[in-house]
Amino acid sequence: MLKIENISKTFNPKTITEKIALRGVSLHLKPGDFVTVIGGNGAGKSTLMNSIAGTFRVDTGKIVIDGEDITKWPEHKRAKYIGRVFQDPMMGTAANMQIEENMAIASRRGRVPTLRWSSAAEQREFIREQLKTLNLGLEDRLESKVGLLSGGQRQALTLLMATLVEPKLLLLDEHTAALDPKTAAQVLGLTNEIVNKRKLTTLMITHNMRDALSCGNRLIMMHEGKILIDVGGEEKKNLSVKDLLEMFERAAGSEMNSDALLLS
Amino acid sequence: MDLIIPTVSQGLLWSLMAIGVYITFRVLDIADLTVEGSFPLGAATAAACLLAGWSPIPAMLAAGFAGMLSGVVTGILCTKLKIPALLAGILTMIALYSVNLHIMGKANLSLLQIDTIFSLYAVPDFTAATMILLVGAVVVILTGVLCYWFFGTEIGAAIRATGCNPHMIRANGINTDNTIILGLLISNALVAFSGALVAQANGFADVGMGVGTIVIGLASVIIGEVLFGTRSFKNCLISVILGSIVYRAVIAIVLQMGMPPNDLKLFTAILVAIALSMPLFQAKLKKRGVGQYVKD
């Protein structure tokens, strides 16, 4: 479904703040793969995600989704195939607009907007049904502005919006990191439910090793702009946090030094 | 008493400009200074067309079209060429000063000797002042309804979302460059249309008549929001129109009270500065209130 071939990205090249973020990363995702991505700060996880989403162009390499080369496509064009949930709960929804308006926009992802009325009455029932699946009571607050919702509610809504039109690829960029533990667990549960039920091809960054192990069918660990570890299937199922750390030390030749990763 | 009709009329004619400022300042979240040039651009275009023998409606449509072009120029400067929006607006505004002089051929055109939208369709028993009020009201209602419809459509919703959260709307497949350009186009079309109306009502177009347009627009938007609310888009549109009328009333009152007309712009600027800084003071007051509550 997703084929990344040898992509690299350097920020601020040839300046004092030069940062090589990706060094020739290749990654193939089969349809229905749910891949979790871990790695310390600056490992290149978010850069990988943003490269796929098209926030910027990669320096070298190729990105192909479902046989279509999207390497040179701008961000908005890629949205036709890609659903996204951001780390910042504020980023995935329009705060000043109603829940219904946000959902209506998401229901047209990848389609050229027309002069038809945006919040059509015949669509309202569909939107309400979809919101019901979140179990947050949002179906009774269609006209509330999204800005009134909590971070967790907004993240759940963003997740629903990102999958409303079935994406060929779902990108989750540490989408539970900004939430309190209980809400984070709820949003993660919802993520598993949606992704597993609909067999969505998914790439999920997380800071939490346990989540990375418990979710999905494949795990990759990044380090200094490269994919260091790539485990899937049975091997991943039997993996513990301790095994993972040992694997990292063997592969990187150094100790895991990211506090955030260890403490979580 | 005899000031009421002209005050409301001026408020109505200028309210189209205020709606234009509302679209950029509030909907797109851009402070667009193009309006300082597109307002006289509309006046100049309409005046030149009228003097060339056009009838008022085509002349005003030409003015609106010229406004659209000016909005597109600013839009391309700030999206495709990545010039900060504030500076992009200033560049277009300065360029328009020369353009306006070219259109008019001189700094000032008088429209007193020719038919305007207000005199051409005059109703026998109505005075000139009443005609301005009547035409103004019709045009403002039509424009308001059209704006309400447009910003409720899929394209309109995309423009509103662009101003609110560009990341979100790009992730949903909308090219934000296009929505920004389109928003600026609509805004400046309204501003130029307003300029065309004001020129005809006042009987002249002047190259300097755009000075302070942005501040008057902001004053109308803010006064309207404070006095008449911001619950929904419809509510906001009505607030802006009423805000423009209240602004004219305030000006009429302070002039009546003896303020020299030369101080008008200073007065408006101070008014807008105070209004724009209100959220800060409100937050401070609220904080103090909460602090006291905790102490108690």
Summarised one tens digit per residue, pLDDT across range A17-64 is 999 999 999 999 999 999 999 988 888 999 999 999 999 999 999 999
ipTM above 0.85, yes or no: yes
Enter the tokens of residue A89: 């709960």
Residues in chain B whose beta carbon is closer than 8 A to a beta carbon of chain A?
Answer: 150, 152-158, 160-161, 164-165, 167-176
Could you give the CA distance from residue B74 to residue B86 in angstroms, rounded to a whole number?
9
Q: Taking the domain A1-81+202-264, which CATH number applies?
A: 3.40.50.300
The number of beta carbons lying within 10 Å of the beta carbon of residue B271 is 20
Q: Residue B1 — very low, low, confident or very high, per pLDDT cuts 50/70/90?
A: low
On the question of pLDDT at A121 being above 70, the answer is: yes
Chain A closest-CA separation from residue B148 CA (Å)? 11
What is residue B16's predicted lDDT score, i.e. its pLDDT?
A: 98
On the question of pLDDT at A216 being above 50, the answer is: yes
What is residue A258's predicted lDDT score, i.e. its pLDDT?
A: 59
On the question of pLDDT at A263 being above 60, the answer is: no
| Residues B171, A84: C-beta atoms closer than 8 Å | yes
The end-to-end CA distance of chain B, in Å, is: 52
On the question of pLDDT at B293 being above 60, the answer is: no
> pLDDT, tens digit, for every residue of B37-85?
999 999 999 999 999 999 999 999 999 999 999 999 999 999 999 999 9
Residue B16, domain extent? 4-258
| Cα dist from A261 to A120, A186, A233, B100, whole Å | 45, 20, 23, 62
What is residue A261's predicted lDDT score, i.e. its pLDDT?
A: 61
In chain A, residues with a C-beta closer than 8 Å to the C-beta of B176 are 76
Total structural domains in chain B? 1
Could you give the CA distance from residue A50 to residue A41 in angstroms, rounded to a whole number?
15
Mean per-residue pLDDT, B266-284: 85
> pLDDT, tens digit, for every residue of A90-106?
999 999 999 999 999 99
Q: Which residue of A has its CA nearest to B179?
A: A113
| Residues A96, B158: C-beta atoms closer than 8 Å | no
Percentage of chain A exceeding pLDDT 90 = 78
| Residues B170, A79: C-beta atoms closer than 8 Å | yes
What is residue A119's predicted lDDT score, i.e. its pLDDT?
A: 82
> Would you say residue B269 lies in a domain?
no
Q: How many CB pairs under 8 A join A and B?
A: 90
Nearest to B175 among A76, A111, A116 (CB): A76
Q: Residue A249 — very low, low, confident or very high, per pLDDT cuts 50/70/90?
A: confident
User: CB of A99 within 8 A of CB of A142?
Assistant: yes
H or E segment at A26?
A: strand A19-29
> Would you say residue B291 lies in a domain?
no
Q: Does the CB of A233 have a partner CB in chain B at under 8 Å?
A: no
> pLDDT, tens digit, for every residue of A131-152?
999 999 999 999 999 999 999 9
Nearest to A97 among B155, B161, B175 (CB): B161
Q: Which residue of A has its CA nearest to B162?
A: A94
Q: Does the CB of A95 have a partner CB in chain B at under 8 Å?
A: yes
Handedness of CA A24, A30, A31, A34 (dihedral sign): negative
| Cα dist from B123 to A63, B9, B152, whole Å | 68, 17, 36
What is residue B277's predicted lDDT score, i.e. its pLDDT?
A: 86
Domain boundaries, chain A: 1-81+202-264
| Residues B172, A109: C-beta atoms closer than 8 Å | yes
Could you give the CA distance from residue A100 to residue A120 in angstroms, rounded to a whole number?
10
Q: Which residue of B has its CA nearest to A147?
A: B164
On the question of pLDDT at B146 being above 90, the answer is: yes
Could you give the CA distance from residue B217 to residue B24 in angstroms, rounded to a whole number?
11
The number of beta carbons lying within 10 Å of the beta carbon of residue B124 is 4
Mean per-residue pLDDT, B216-238: 93
Mean per-residue pLDDT, A187-194: 95
What is residue B285's predicted lDDT score, i.e. its pLDDT?
A: 78
Q: Does the CB of A16 have a partner CB in chain B at under 8 Å?
A: no
Q: Which residue of A has its CA nearest to B154?
A: A118
Q: Which residue of A has its CA nearest to B163?
A: A94
CA B12 to chain centre: 11
Q: Which residue of A has its CA nearest to B170?
A: A76
Closest CA to A8 of A61, A63, A72, A65: A61
Q: Residue A5 — very low, low, confident or very high, per pLDDT cuts 50/70/90?
A: very high
Contacts of residue B173, defined as CB under 8 A and 6 or more positions apart, other chains included, come to A76, A77, A79, A80, A108, A109, A110, A111
Of A237-251, B52-66, B281-295, give the lowest mean pLDDT range. B281-295
CA B78 to chain centre: 20
Q: Does the CB of A118 have a partner CB in chain B at under 8 Å?
A: yes
| Residues B154, A79: C-beta atoms closer than 8 Å | no
On the question of pLDDT at B163 being above 60, the answer is: yes
Q: Which residue of B has its CA nearest to A50?
A: B171
> Would you say residue B26 lies in a domain?
yes
Q: Does the CB of A162 have a partner CB in chain B at under 8 Å?
A: yes
On the question of pLDDT at A262 being above 70, the answer is: no
Mean per-residue pLDDT, A208-229: 91
Q: Residue B290 — very low, low, confident or very high, per pLDDT cuts 50/70/90?
A: low
What is residue B296's predicted lDDT score, i.e. its pLDDT?
A: 38
Chain B closest-CA separation from residue A60 CA (Å)? 23
Contacts of residue A137, defined as CB under 8 A and 6 or more positions apart, other chains included, come to none
| Residues B171, A53: C-beta atoms closer than 8 Å | yes
What is residue A14's predicted lDDT score, i.e. its pLDDT?
A: 92
| Residues B160, A53: C-beta atoms closer than 8 Å | no
Nearest to A94 among B168, B173, B175 (CB): B168
Mean per-residue pLDDT, B245-249: 96
The number of beta carbons lying within 10 Å of the beta carbon of residue A17 is 7
> pLDDT, tens digit, for every residue of B89-129?
999 999 999 999 999 999 999 999 899 999 888 788 888 88
Percentage of chain A exceeding pLDDT 70 = 96
Q: How would DSSP label each residue in A103-121? A: HHHHTTTTS---SSBSS-H
The CATH code of the domain that includes B9 is 1.10.3470
